[in-house]
């Protein structure tokens, strides 16, 4: 079985199935399509499937032209999970959020696998890409596959290969970002390597699915901890009257032993605010307290409230109350120059400020209308930035530093700017750094 599968992959005669067509699955689909494979996309969202089959895109940095070209060369999207049996490779790219108690929610992984199991067949390779705790592939996917009568490593080949996407970063793409992969058995690893080497320039094998799962967590915990450190340093510098951004710029001139991380209003995106808690939860099963990671999480999750305290102080100094204040939030995506709203600290800031009685609007060229979200509800559209519109607000909250903003015009016409991103380096009477 393994040799037949690998031969089909090497000859590009295999069909690739991508389950979950979001920020991870859609670029992966395009990459395998560009490499010459037939690709079947499966998603539970009928509206997404309908758009893709019409050659349309719902992700800003993926053009409709690319989707239309993929459709012309054989890509098809469906909500029918029974068609999974047509694919030689099934790659799961589904969400792994946290529960309201900040514990792992792998219900999308389990639910997807349960939908796929009745339609599995011999000779398939199954790859999980969703970020999760070490042991998920072995403890959740493996038993479900073998309960259906398949022997993993002989009939079906199971691997874990964590997604590595950085939307908005033009220096890297799906093809050029090295791909870590771990297999449940040696045969599984060989099948997984054969799959990904067709589309990715460099594949990095590790000894197990657990090692690959831990690799992804380490990457993101590394960032979370260092961002937590610099966020704490920002608070210390603020109390001392020191500009943290000036300090970072100076420290970054050291050619060794220092990597620059930058503070902000909180953590955002689908990985950094979430992944550390996957490990802290799993570590408790082994009697290990991950105090360092949890402390960084506390610092980072506390940043929106710290920014609000800076807003209140800035208004008080000018004889204004937060209640009734008109605030325009600049940038509501989680990072600059993208439309991705997942876990955006700007949205949390909007909710806190609204609860305290402020009148909230936003401006974001990448998010023309506030989207429907599971936990956040605003009936708002992006405000066009003009001298007149800027002057109508009591306070401008710079939450995400998109390149499209005219920062000179903002500085000239805003009554008060609270800058959470260090955009403004020179002191000014109407600018407060937070």
Distance CA(161)–CA(264), nearest Å, equals: 30
Q: Has 71 been annotated as catalytic?
A: no
| Contacts of residue 170, Cβ cutoff 8 Å, sequence gap at least 6 | none
| Contacts of residue 155, Cβ cutoff 8 Å, sequence gap at least 6 | 1, 122, 123
Q: Say if residue 307 is exposed, middle or buried (CB neighbours under 10 Å; 0-12, 13-18, 19+).
A: buried
Cβ pair 173, 224 in contact under 8 A: no
Give the 3-state secondary structure of residue 417.
strand
- How many degrees, rounded to 5, is the angle at CA 308 between CA 302 and CA 361? 120
Q: From the candidates 93, 188, 237, 271, give the one annotated as an active-site residue.
A: 271
CA 426 to the chain's CA centroid:
32
Two structure tokens written together for 398: 């710079």
* Cα R_g (the chain), whole angstroms: 24
From the list 272, 268, 293, the residue with the least C-alpha distance to 282 is 293
Residue 327: strand pairing partners? 360, 395
Ramachandran quadrant class, 152 (left: phi over 0; alpha: psi -120 to 50; beta: rest) = beta
Cβ pair 333, 339 in contact under 8 A: yes
Distance CA(299)–CA(302), nearest Å, equals: 5
Cβ pair 265, 399 in contact under 8 A: yes
Catalytic residues: 271
């Amino acid at each position: 079985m393994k040799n037949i599968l690998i031969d089909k992959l090497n000859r590009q005669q295999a069909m690739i199935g991508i389950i979950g067509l979001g920020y991870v699955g859609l670029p992966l689909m395009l990459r395998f399509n560009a490499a010459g494979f037939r690709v079947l996309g499966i998603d539970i969202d009928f509206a997404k499937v309908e758009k893709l089959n019409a050659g349309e895109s719902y992700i800003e940095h993926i053009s409709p032209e690319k989707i239309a070209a993929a459709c012309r060369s054989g890509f098809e999207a469906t909500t029918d999970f029974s068609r999974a049996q047509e694919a030689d490779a099934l790659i799961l790219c589904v969400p792994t959020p946290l529960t309201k108690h900040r514990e792992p929610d792998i219900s999308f992984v389990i639910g997807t696998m349960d939908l796929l199991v009745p339609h599995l067949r011999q000779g398939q390779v199954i790859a999980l890409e969703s970020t999760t705790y070490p042991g998920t592939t072995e403890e959740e996917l493996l038993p479900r596959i073998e309960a259906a009568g398949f022997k993993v490593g002989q009939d079906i080949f199971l691997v874990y290969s964590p997604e590595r996407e950085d939307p908005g970063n033009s220096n890297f793409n799906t093809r050029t970002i090295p791909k870590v992969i771990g297999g449940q058995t040696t045969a599984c690893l060989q099948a997984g390597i054969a799959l990904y080497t067709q589309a990715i320039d460099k594949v990095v094998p590790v000894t197990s699915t657990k090692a690959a799962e831990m690799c992804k967590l380490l990457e993101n915990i590394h960032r979370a901890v260092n961002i937590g450190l610099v966020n704490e340093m920002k608070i210390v510098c603020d109390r001392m009257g020191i500009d943290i951004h000036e300090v970072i710029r100076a420290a970054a001139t050291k050619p060794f032993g220092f990597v620059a991380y930058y503070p902000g209003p909180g953590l955002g995106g689908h990985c950094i605010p979430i992944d550390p808690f996957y490990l802290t939860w799993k570590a408790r099963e082994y009697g290990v307290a991950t105090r360092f990671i949890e402390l960084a999480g506390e610092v980072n999750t506390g940043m929106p409230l710290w920014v609000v305290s800076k807003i209140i102080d800035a208004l008080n100094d000018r004889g204004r109350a937060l209640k009734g204040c008109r605030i325009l939030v600049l940038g509501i995506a989680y990072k600059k120059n993208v439309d991705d709203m997942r876990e955006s600290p700007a949205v949390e800031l909007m909710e806190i400020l609204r609860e305290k009685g402020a009148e909230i609007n936003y401006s974001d060229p990448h998010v023309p209308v506030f989207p429907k979200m599971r936990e956040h509800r605003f009936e708002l559209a992006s405000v066009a930035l003009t001298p007149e519109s800027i002057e109508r607000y009591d306070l401008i909250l710079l939450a995400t530093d998109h390149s499209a903003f005219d920062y000179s015009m903002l500085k000239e016409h805003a009554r008060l700017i609270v800058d959470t991103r260090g955009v403004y380096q020179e002191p000014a009477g109407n600018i407060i750094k937070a």
